[in-house]
Amino acid sequence: MVTTAFTPVSSLLGGALIGLSAAILIVFNGRIAGISGIVSRLLPPYRGDDVAGKALFTIGLVAAPLLVEAAGFRVVQTVSGSFGLLAVAGLLVGIGTVVGNGCTSGHGVCGLARLSPRSLVATLVFMAAAAATVFVTRHVVGG
Amino acid sequence: MTRLGLDRLVQGIAGLVFGLGLVVSGMIDPAKVLNFLDFAGTWDPSLAFVMAGAVAIAFVGFRVAGGRARPILAERFHWPVSRAVDPRVIVGPAVFGIGWGLSGFCPGPAVAALGLLAPGTFVFVGAMLIGMAIARALTAPRVPQDQSHPVAGTRP
């Protein structure tokens, strides 16, 4: 496994940018910055929502690291695990976020910022499930 | 530019700002997320600082929005319709959390990372989209998503 450096300052600043994005989207567009909600509504069935705005949000999201690299910075990233594991993980994330109506951004950032009890429950559950999964894969079966 | 065009353009800018936040915070790196979740091992508390910064600024945004009759560029607020703590908000996040813990990817960082061209990211996002499509087809919302609160000016 890869060790990573603790980055309190840049993580707080980056977090503030994520919060700024959520603030822009609710104040200007009246929408919740929940990525699973935005991305899943790019897929059918369409229920009369504005898909073009969601597509533009997604394009902006994908463009960000490319712009950072174009500006001469290196974006450090380690994607680990077999393709089989990543496929299973992706399926679970896709199903779970649609069933639970949100992910780390929708429940974790926007929901907590709205003081939503529903989002607090969701956030505690996915944090606990994820930490338990990492414990099992790294310390029980992974070693 | 029309108001709808401006509405969509600002959504694009919000996506860009969100993506920059993921890069600056380091959350675009699944290894960093997995290390946050690994309390018994190589723990990296950075994600807690990301959440703190994000929730603090978003809180101000939601306070501003809550005091307005309507958003600056749109007709109405799309507040989440579901408020109940029901089985869906336990089962869904539990399933999501297992996938998050297996990969270190949640939807935002995974989609943002597509352009970095790691093959595993494409496998993850492809499977995630399939999972979303399956779940969307099977779980019709009890209340139609965008017609439920035609005058949703009140904060939930």
Q: Is residue A2 part of a domain?
A: no
Pick from B19, B75, B34, B26: nearest CA to A11: B26
CB B42 within 8 A of CB A86: no
Q: Which pLDDT band, with edges at 50, 70 and 90, does B151 fall under?
A: very low
> What domain range includes position A31?
8-140
Q: Which pLDDT band, with edges at 50, 70 and 90, does A93 fall under?
A: very high
pLDDT of residue B94: 98
CB A102 within 8 A of CB A34: yes
Write the residue in A19, A78, A90 that is nearest to B99 by C-beta.
A90
Q: How far apart are CA A35 and CA B15, in angstroms?
A: 9
Q: What mean pLDDT do residues B10-14 have?
A: 98
Q: In this complex, is the C-beta atom of B153 within 8 Å of any C-beta atom belonging to chain A?
A: no
User: pTM above the 0.90 mark?
Assistant: yes
Q: How far apart are CA A58 and CA A88, in angstroms?
A: 23
Write the residue in A3, A63, A86 that is nearest to B103 by C-beta.
A86
Distance of residue B152 Cα from the nearest chain A Cα, in angstroms: 10
pLDDT of residue A104: 97
Q: Is residue A33 part of a domain?
A: yes
Q: Is residue A99 part of a domain?
A: yes
Does pLDDT of B149 surpass 60? no
pLDDT of residue B30: 97
Query: How many CA atoms within 13 Å lie on the side-chain side of B47?
Result: 26
pLDDT of residue B84: 87
Q: Is residue A85 part of a domain?
A: yes
Write the residue in A59, A89, A98 that is nearest to B124 by C-beta.
A89
**Which residues in A lie closer than 8 A to residue B67 (C-beta atoms)?**
none
**pLDDT cut 90: percent of chain A above it:** 90
Pick from A66, A37, A65: nearest CA to A51: A37
Q: Which pLDDT band, with edges at 50, 70 and 90, does A42 fall under?
A: very high
Helices (H), A4-116: 8-29, 35-40, 51-70, 83-99, 112-113
CB A36 within 8 A of CB B107: yes
Angle subtended by helix axes A51-70 and B3-25, to nearest 10 = 40
Q: Is residue A61 part of a domain?
A: yes
Total domains in the fold of chain A: 1
Q: Is residue A3 part of a domain?
A: no
Q: Which pLDDT band, with edges at 50, 70 and 90, does A2 fall under?
A: confident
Q: What mean pLDDT do residues A85-104 have?
A: 97
Residues B115, A27: C-beta atoms closer than 8 Å: no
Q: What is the pLDDT of residues A47-81, one digit of tens each?
A: 788 899 999 999 999 999 999 999 999 999 999 98
Q: What is the pLDDT of residues B43-98, one digit of tens each?
A: 999 999 999 999 999 999 999 999 999 999 999 999 988 778 999 999 999 999 99
**pLDDT cut 70: percent of chain B above it:** 89
Q: Is residue A12 part of a domain?
A: yes
ipTM passes above 0.90: yes
Q: Is residue A1 part of a domain?
A: no
